[in-house]
């Protein structure tokens, strides 16, 4: 009888822990990061079909007339593991996921050009969401890197 009561208490504790910390308690700590490179320019018209869903709101903020997907790269990273994505113009983006906290993953980003670090940042990226990093000039427009995460 006493052992049954103890089991019941342990089960209740398990339920409370799982309900309180669902992401940290059950996450596999596997990070799927994707980096889409977009060229936004004021020459030409149109948005690549695969970008329409993502850049819809960007169009209302920037006055670019054309959004073209240049490349897409996927990375499967473990906690603390770094992966690098090659970007146009000799740029490289080094991505290192550190940990998951709630619905967000803490990720370190390092943008490099040739051997020089342009910037490095620590972000908390929401699961199934994207961070848009943009600005560098490329050809007749500007590059926008869409960094998305699934954990």
Partner 1 sequence: MNEAQTNFCDDDLLIRSLDDDLDAAEKERLAAHLETCRPCRQQLARLTGFSRDLVRRVDLAAEAVDFTALEKDVLTKALRPRRSTNGGAGWFRALKFGIPAAVTAGLLLFFGYGQFMVNSGPPPSAIINSFTGSMSSVMIFETPETSQTILWYTEDTDVESESDAV
One residue of 132, 141, 150, 151 binding partner 1 per CB under 8 A: 132
- Residue number, 25 or 89, with CB nearest to partner 1: 89
Is 151 an interacting residue with respect to partner 1 (CB under 8 A)?
A: no
One residue of 36, 83, 111, 141 binding partner 1 per CB under 8 A: 111
Annotate 20-73 with three-state secondary structure.
Answer: HCHHHHHCCCEEEEEEEEEEEECCCCEECHHHHHHHHHHHHHCCCCEEEEEEEE
Strands 104-113 and 116-126: antiparallel
Is 20 an interacting residue with respect to partner 1 (CB under 8 A)?
A: no
CB 112 within 8 A of CB 145: no
Is 6 an interacting residue with respect to partner 1 (CB under 8 A)?
A: no
- Residue number, 76 or 86, with CB nearest to partner 1: 86
Query: Residue 45, SS3?
Result: coil
Residues written for the chain: 151
Is 35 an interacting residue with respect to partner 1 (CB under 8 A)?
A: no
> Where along the sequence are the contacts to partner 1 (CB under 8 A)?
57-58, 61, 88-91, 104, 106, 111, 113-114, 116-126, 129-138
């Amino acid at each position: 009888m006493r052992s049954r009561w103890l089991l019941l208490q342990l089960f209740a504790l398990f339920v409370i822990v799982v309900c309180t910390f669902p992401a940290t308690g059950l996450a596999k700590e596997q990070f799927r990061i994707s980096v889409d490179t977009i060229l936004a320019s004021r020459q030409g018209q149109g948005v690549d079909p695969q970008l329409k869903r993502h850049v819809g709101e960007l169009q209302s903020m920037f006055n670019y007339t054309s959004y073209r997907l240049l490349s897409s790269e996927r990375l499967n990273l473990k906690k603390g593991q770094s992966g690098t994505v090659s970007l146009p113009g000799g740029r490289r983006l080094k991505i290192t996921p550190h940990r998951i906290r709630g619905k967000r993953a803490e990720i370190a980003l390092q943008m490099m050009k040739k051997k020089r670090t342009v910037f490095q940042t620590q972000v908390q990226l929401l699961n199934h969401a994207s961070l848009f990093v943009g600005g560098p000039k490329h050809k007749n427009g500007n590059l926008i890197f869409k960094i998305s995460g699934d954990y």
